[in-house]
Structure 1
């Protein structure tokens, strides 16, 4: 019975990571386009645009590493890369929350993109923890 739970959580986690890898690409392209649009049409306070660009670059880098570690650990059934992927979810979610709440100028479309990204984070976190718990269990052979 433990084996079935492990397979289901692993499969769901892999599907979420796979979908999030595509969503991250779309999120990146759309945020860059919206950033360029806002930089042209809106006047930013001094260095605010560069600060937000730096935070966005760091967010994308952390997210790529998080997805890579999660997929690598999940496919190899190793808990350490998945654990680090779970730990990287925290700064990634904080970065998305920054763009959702504290960004200088926020467009309605960005609310939707960031909310979907946070939904991916929450689901991946739940299935990653379930995966780690099932991998760490001692299996009894009869």
Structure 2
């Protein structure tokens, strides 16, 4: 008898979309960081360097989160998805920093960070549903 795959197509589509969106998001954030460093009154070199370091941290965590989420979904293993869910917390906090707590926040950053947070929230919900489907005990066939 054929087995039913429990990997989530919705989760895979969201992760695939976010892999491209986050690449564009990171490039735009980097460009806006250089724009603010060159054209706006500097809040200090340490603040500017800290914001670039936080952007680098966000790129690393979000890249790992997307990779682990897609790998776990395609192989139907829950541990990579669970680690991806845990990595959602630092990714969300770093995105919130760029949205709210940054010294200068541009209107484009508000739009891009809001879309990123919506993607993160929807992926979190779908990944939890995917984890439930993976770890749900299968009923005996009669």
TM-score bracket for this pair, using the shorter chain length: over 0.9
Note the alpha carbon deviations across 1:117-139, whole angstroms, 9 max, x for none.
00000010000000000111111
Runs of 4+ in structure 1 over 4 Å off = none
Aligned length: 137
TM-score with structure 1 setting the length: 0.93
For residue 36 of structure 1, report the CA deviation from its aligned partner: 1.0
For residue 19 of structure 1, report the CA deviation from its aligned partner: 0.2
Q: Give, in whole Å, the separation in 1 of the partners of 2:24 and 2:43.
A: 28
Alignment of 1:12-23 (within 5 A): 12-23=10-21
RMSD (Å) for aligned C-alpha atoms: 1.1
Alignment of 1:67-78 (within 5 A): 67-78=66-77
Greater per-residue helix proportion: 1
For residue 45 of structure 1, report the CA deviation from its aligned partner: 2.1
Gaps of 5+ in 2: none
Provide the residue aligned with 2:23 in structure 1: 25
Alignment of 1:26-65 (within 5 A): 26-46=24-44, 47-65=46-64
TM-score with structure 2 setting the length: 0.93
Gaps of 5+ in 1: none
